[in-house]
Structure 1
Amino acid sequence: MNTQLLNTLYVQAQGAYLRLQGDTVRVEVEGSLKCQIPLHHLDGLCLFGNVLVSPFLLHRCAQDGREVAWYGENGRFQGRLAGPVSGNVLLRRAQHQALDAKAVYLAQRFVESKLRNTRALLQRAMRERGETEAFASALAEHETSLRWLPYAQTLDEVRGLEGNAASAYFAAFGELLIGGEFSFNGRNKRPPRDPVNALLGFVYALLATQCTAALEGVGLDPQVGFLHALRPGRNALALDLLEEFRAWWGDRLVLALLNRKQLTSRHFEERPGGAVLLSEDGRKEVIVAFQKRRQETVQHPLFKEPVPIGLLPHIQARLLARYLRGDLPEYVPFVGK
């Protein structure tokens, strides 16, 4: 699958070969032309897995300052080609300056996306299963947080609103599970103490890897975030971006795996000290489901054509980079349907 978004060509077709013909990029698979795009329409190339590029195209991209980023088939960042003219240093500078000037605004955008996506999940559950006290309380808390979020003046206020909504959401999360095999009595981690928390933590880690790769691919520093506090070794910006996908992608995948009984108690194992982790078979099952989800398409609010879900972090990272550089007047977070 090949997708052109935000002047960037994303190539996910395994075995694809990109070459330069005149000033046109040709994408071929097994000798068959799949698409051709004028080079001057592209700011960069993002290549996933087994995708080959001709030396002449690489040389031209380097010469023009056009970035080429490589990812594994699973979306993990591998490396980036940038020529002698690169805006990354200016982008990083803008990112650091935004810590003082735009931190509250960006934190609000990340939290707004999380609240709206979580609210949609709760509303859908209440339509399908009927109103419960926990659902009603969680929805009311999300409405309150969304109402007060634009008025937050500090990061602590933004984090407080997000924390209140999250507490109410996880108080209702157990009622999203059906079948009775698994129960949920609150969020816990490091280590997780039950199968549901073990699965949530594993899926969030997969999403964090995707977000880190997307940020690295556009030249942003994954450790310099706005909503999450800066700590050595912590990819704070990747965690910020993760908030946009936590409920819409992560929690929905967890609920599907458990409610459809794709995962059962045999996919988890208890370790000494009470920690509960996914077994090897359990991890394989989750990764396969996660990869299938990445290939599905969804309507992004800014594009007419559906885009693969796996590209959403890359789209948002590029939008964020453009906002930080001053190319966009505002950052538009992802809100799914």
Structure 2
Amino acid sequence: MKKSIYIFSNGTIRRDENTISIVNDNDKKFIPIENTSEIYMFGEVTFNTKLLTYLSEKGIIIHYFNYYGYYSGTIFPRQHLSSGAVILNQVSYYLDMEKRLQIAKLIEHGSAINIIANLKYYYNRGRSLAEEIEKISRLNDTFDEQTTINSLMLIEANIREIYYSTFDKIIADKNFRFEHRTKRPPQNNVNSLISFINSMLYTTVLSEIYKTHMDPRIGYLHETNFRRFTLNLDVSEIFKPIIGDRIIFKLLNEKIIDASNFKNIGNIVNINESGKKKIIQELDNKLSTTISYPGIMHKISYKRLIRLEIYKLEKHILGDMAYKPYKSNW
């Protein structure tokens, strides 16, 4: 299976005959190009069009991040799997509010059910979460009554507020208090973890969309506007609880990451390089973990699971099979 490459150091990345290398003042490292699916750049890296042409030929995606470690953008190779028929159907479903709303409701249901699965797991291990499970279950039942995307997202916001209120019950390390969600910028360690892991999940889903016929610019729950990509945000809603949040709980409850992995830069709480590497290692471990999947004889990885979710959406808009979001049993 091809792997993701993560670059934290500053330097120059360039084509080196039939592979690529990263060069800085002290070192030169080669990247096994045939085994690489995408490159994540966290350092200040320079490159030229010769490299981009070569990576495009190899179908390798570049995701790059800013100084604080948050997602800045993606450089895609040419769309070798792009399908006019699929794109036309994607647009048709977006413009038809009834069809768009149907998909958006299914995504919201999938997200809420996977949130509930997380809470039930910790409830069965002694956390006092019965009230929150009940509240979120009731809110989940109201999605089908909604007639606009905005009203769906208001319910989603209420569910998230209740869900985030449980984090201080789930996270055993009392040095990490969540309190409430803050984003731009994240104002404590847990919020910084959520923002960084969400960014990594968005790019992971984006890479998987590229391997299908779907266009990442056309989403259904999230508004398609001047934002470059939205379908990856939609699909990520289903996997945030069962990939992103579970990684956060593991990192903190097993003390894989601690206060030394965070630093304050002005009013931003940032994760240092050591912390990012620990998070990425856990994310890679999670994405390569295999699970049983209905209708498939062998186990599949979580990364493959994400791509299957996109295939299901593709089949839905083509009229081949009604979409059903993935629902975790744990």
TM-score interval, smaller chain: 0.7 to 0.9
Tell me how far apart the structure 1 counterparts of residues 319 and 264 of structure 2 sit (CA, whole Å): 50
Matched, 1:126 2:123: yes
Aligned partner of 1:117: which letter? N
Which consecutive residues of structure 1, in runs of 5 or more, have no partner in the other structure?
A: 1-10, 15-47, 53-67
Q: 2:50 — aligned with what? A: none
Aligned pair in 2 of structure 1 residues 130, 171: CA closer, same or farther (>3 Å)? Answer: closer
Aligned pair in 2 of structure 1 residues 13, 107: CA closer, same or farther (>3 Å)? Answer: closer
| 1:50 CA drift (Å) | 2.4
User: Do 1:77 and 1:216's aligned partners in 2 also have CA atoms closer than 8 Å?
Assistant: no
Q: 2:7 — aligned with what? A: none
Matched, 1:315 2:308: yes
Find the partner of 2:296 among 303, 315, 318: 303
Give per-residue Cα distances to partners, 1:229-266, cap 9 Å, x unaligned: 22313422110000010101100001100110000000
Find the partner of 2:103 among 103, 106, 109: 106
Find the partner of 1:334 among 318, 326, 329: 326
Aligned residue for 2:263, secondary structure, equals: strand
Matched, 1:97 2:97: no
Tell me how far apart the structure 1 counterparts of residues 33 and 203 of structure 2 sit (CA, whole Å): 16
Tell me how far apart the structure 2 counterparts of residues 194 and 126 of structure 1 sit (CA, whole Å): 25
Q: 2:77 — aligned with what? A: 79
Aligned pair in 2 of structure 1 residues 51, 130: CA closer, same or farther (>3 Å)? Answer: closer
Aligned partner of 1:89: which letter? G
Matched, 1:164 2:158: yes
Alignment of 1:51-70 (within 5 A): 51=35, 70=59
Aligned residue for 1:107, secondary structure, equals: helix
Aligned pair in 2 of structure 1 residues 221, 87: CA closer, same or farther (>3 Å)? Answer: closer
User: Do 2:262 and 2:269's aligned partners in 1 also have CA atoms closer than 8 Å?
Assistant: yes
Find the partner of 2:235 among 233, 241, 246: 241
Tell me how far apart the structure 2 counterparts of residues 203 and 165 of structure 1 sit (CA, whole Å): 20
Aligned pair in 2 of structure 1 residues 201, 49: CA closer, same or farther (>3 Å)? Answer: farther
User: Do 1:70 and 1:77's aligned partners in 2 also have CA atoms closer than 8 Å?
Assistant: no
Alignment of 1:29-48 (within 5 A): none
Q: 1:29 — aligned with what? A: none
| 1:150 CA drift (Å) | 2.3
Tell me how far apart the structure 2 counterparts of residues 225 and 13 of structure 1 sit (CA, whole Å): 27
Aligned partner of 2:219: which letter? G
Q: 1:223 — aligned with what? A: 217
Matched, 1:177 2:171: yes
Find the partner of 1:288 among 252, 256, 281: 281
| 1:90 CA drift (Å) | 1.3
Aligned pair in 2 of structure 1 residues 230, 80: CA closer, same or farther (>3 Å)? Answer: closer
| 1:143 CA drift (Å) | 1.0
TM-score of the superposed pair, with normalisation by structure 2: 0.75
Q: 1:137 — aligned with what? A: 131
Aligned pair in 2 of structure 1 residues 296, 119: CA closer, same or farther (>3 Å)? Answer: same
User: Do 1:230 and 1:236's aligned partners in 2 also have CA atoms closer than 8 Å?
Assistant: yes
Aligned pair in 2 of structure 1 residues 107, 293: CA closer, same or farther (>3 Å)? Answer: same
Tell me how far apart the structure 2 counterparts of residues 96 and 302 of structure 1 sit (CA, whole Å): 30
Find the partner of 1:276 among 261, 269, 280: 269
Aligned pair in 2 of structure 1 residues 207, 305: CA closer, same or farther (>3 Å)? Answer: same
Tell me how far apart the structure 2 counterparts of residues 301 and 71 of structure 1 sit (CA, whole Å): 31
Aligned pair in 2 of structure 1 residues 296, 240: CA closer, same or farther (>3 Å)? Answer: same
Aligned pair in 2 of structure 1 residues 336, 77: CA closer, same or farther (>3 Å)? Answer: farther
Aligned residue for 1:269, secondary structure, equals: strand
Q: 1:251 — aligned with what? A: 245
Q: 2:71 — aligned with what? A: none
Aligned length: 270
| 1:70 CA drift (Å) | 3.8
Q: 1:191 — aligned with what? A: 185
Tell me how far apart the structure 2 counterparts of residues 50 and 290 of structure 1 sit (CA, whole Å): 22
Q: 1:150 — aligned with what? A: 144
CA RMSD, Structure 1 to Structure 2 (Å): 2.6
Aligned partner of 2:208: which letter? A
User: Do 1:12 and 1:49's aligned partners in 2 also have CA atoms closer than 8 Å?
Assistant: no
Tell me how far apart the structure 2 counterparts of residues 87 and 234 of structure 1 sit (CA, whole Å): 17
User: Do 2:209 and 2:310's aligned partners in 1 also have CA atoms closer than 8 Å?
Assistant: yes
What percent of counterpart residues are identical? 21
Q: 2:206 — aligned with what? A: 212
| 1:321 CA drift (Å) | 1.2
